[in-house]
C-alpha cells in the first residue's frame, strides 16, 4: 500500500456515487475502486445479520484491490455494521458516514433542532440521534426513514414531480418541528438535494455527511503521507453484483465523470 493505492468505496447501489463525486471534487488525484451491491439492494429492508454479511464480503474483496482506505458509503451499513467492522482489525482504516454526519449537524445547527432523513433501518437504529447527542446532548434529533425515496433515486429519477410530492410528505413533520438543519442520512439522497431544498426552504440548512467525511479522509491521507500527488494515474474502477449494463446507464446519469466500463462481481 502506498500513495498510489486506491480508495475503496461501497454501497448497496448508486448512492455511494454521490461520495465518489465529492472525492473527485475534493481529492482530484485519488484512484477509486467502487462496489455497488446492486444484487442485494435495498439494504434498508434487510436484517442486521444480512447487512453484516454483505459488508464483510465486500470489505474483504476491496482489501484485495490494493486500497489505502475503505469508505462505507452507505449510512445503513454505517449504522448497523460499523461497530463490528471496527472490531475486526483490517490493515487499512474503514470510514463510516454517521460520525461525519453528526459532526456536520452539530457544527451547523443554531437552534439545536436537527432532522435526519435516512433509510427506515438507519432511522430505527437511532444511530444518528446517539452520535449527535454524544457530541451535544442538548440537541433534539428528529429521525425519518423513507425507502420510497431510496427506490426513486435508485430507479434513476432525480428531479421528477413525484419526487417533490414524496419528499414533501416525508418532511412535513420535521419542518413543523422547526428544525434548522437537515442531514441527508442516506447516500442516495444528495441526488435529491434540489428537491429537498425546494421543499424545506432556505431557513433549513441541508447537509451532506460526505463533505465532512472527505475532509476526514484527506486528514488521514496527509498524516500518513498517502495523498496521491501524481497527476496521471488516477483511475476509477466500478464493480456491481447486479447487471453491469444497468449500472452503467445509472452511473452516467449520476456521476460527474462517466465510467467507461463496469465489471461484474460475484461475492
Ligand atoms: N445508500 C444507502 C444508505 O446510505 C442504502 C440505501 C438502501 O439500500 O436501502 O443508507
Question: What tens digit of pLDDT does each residue of 158-169 get?
Answer: 556 779 999 999
pLDDT (average), residues 176-183: 97
Q: What is the pLDDT of residue 258?
A: 80
Q: For residues 41-78, b (16+ Cβ closer than 10 Å) or e, as one string?
A: bbbbebeeeebbebbebbbebbbeeebbbbbbbbbbbb
How far apart (Å, rounded) are the C-alpha atoms in residues 226 and 265? Answer: 27
What is residue 158's DSSP assignment? Answer: S
Which stretch of 87-96, 192-201, 205-214 has the lowest confidence by average pLDDT? Answer: 87-96
- Best residue among 152, 187, 193, 208 to mutate for probing ligand 1's pocket (most ligand atoms within 8 Å of CB) is 187
Instruction: Check if 208 is active-site.
Output: no
Task: Determine the CATH number of domain 7-96+211-264.
Answer: 3.40.50.1860
Render 107-150 in DSSP notation, one character per residue. HH-SSSEEEEEE-HHHHHHTHHHHHHHHH-TT-EEEEEE-HHHH
CATH topology for 98-209 is Rossmann fold (3.40.50)
- The proportion of the chain whose per-residue pLDDT surpasses 70, expressed as a percent, equals 98
Q: Which of 67, 99, 101, 104 is nearest to 86 (CA)?
A: 99
Share above pLDDT 90 across residues of the chain, in percent, rounded to a whole number = 86
Res 84: pLDDT: 83
pLDDT at 147 over 80: yes
Q: What's the pLDDT score for residue 260?
A: 79
CA of 12 to the centre of ligand 1 (A): 6
Domain parsing of the chain, residue ranges: 7-96+211-264, 98-209
Q: How large is the average pLDDT for residues 184-205?
A: 96
Q: Tell me whether residue 87 is one of the annotated catalytic residues.
A: no
Q: Do domains 7-96+211-264 and 98-209 have the same CATH topology?
A: yes
Find how far residue 60's CA is from the centre of its chain: 19
Q: What is the pLDDT of residues 102-126, one digit of tens each?
A: 999 999 999 999 999 999 999 999 9
Distance CA 175, CA 161 (A): 20
C-alpha cell at 103: 459532526
Amino acid at each position: 500500500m502506498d500513495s498510489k493505492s486506491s480508495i475503496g468505496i461501497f454501497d448497496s447501489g448508486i448512492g455511494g456515487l454521490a461520495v465518489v463525486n465529492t472525492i473527485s471534487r475534493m481529492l482530484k488525484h485519488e484512484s477509486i475502486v467502487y462496489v455497488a451491491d446492486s444484487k442485494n439492494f435495498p439494504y434498508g429492508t434487510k436484517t442486521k445479520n444480512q447487512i453484516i454479511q454483505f459488508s464483510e464480503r465486500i470489505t474483504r474483496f476491496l482489501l484485495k484491490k490494493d486500497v489505502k482506505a475503505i469508505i462505507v458509503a452507505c449510512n445503513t451499513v454505517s449504522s448497523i455494521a460499523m461497530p463490528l467492522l471496527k472490531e475486526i482489525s483490517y490493515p487499512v482504516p474503514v470510514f463510516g458516514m454517521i460520525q461525519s454526519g453528526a459532526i456536520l449537524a452539530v457544527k451547523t445547527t443554531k437552534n439545536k433542532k436537527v432532522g435526519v432523513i435516512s433509510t427506515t433501518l438507519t432511522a430505527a437504529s437511532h444511530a444518528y440521534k446517539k452520535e449527535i447527542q454524544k457530541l451535544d446532548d442538548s440537541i433534539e434529533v428528529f429521525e425519518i426513514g423513507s425507502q420510497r425515496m431510496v427506490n426513486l433515486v435508485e430507479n434513476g429519477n432525480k428531479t421528477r414531480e413525484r419526487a417533490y410530492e414524496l419528499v414533501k410528505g416525508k418532511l412535513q413533520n420535521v419542518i413543523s418541528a422547526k428544525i434548522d438543519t437537515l442531514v441527508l442520512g442516506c447516500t442516495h439522497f444528495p441526488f435529491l438535494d434540489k428537491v429537498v431544498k425546494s421543499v424545506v426552504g432556505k431557513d433549513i440548512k441541508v447537509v451532506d455527511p460526505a463533505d465532512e467525511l472527505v475532509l476526514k479522509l484527506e486528514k488521514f491521507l496527509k498524516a500518513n503521507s498517502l495523498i496521491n500527488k501524481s497527476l496521471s494515474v488516477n483511475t476509477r474502477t466500478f464493480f456491481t453484483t447486479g447487471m453491469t449494463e444497468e449500472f452503467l446507464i445509472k452511473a452516467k446519469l449520476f456521476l460527474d465523470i462517466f465510467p467507461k466500463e463496469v465489471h461484474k462481481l460475484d461475492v
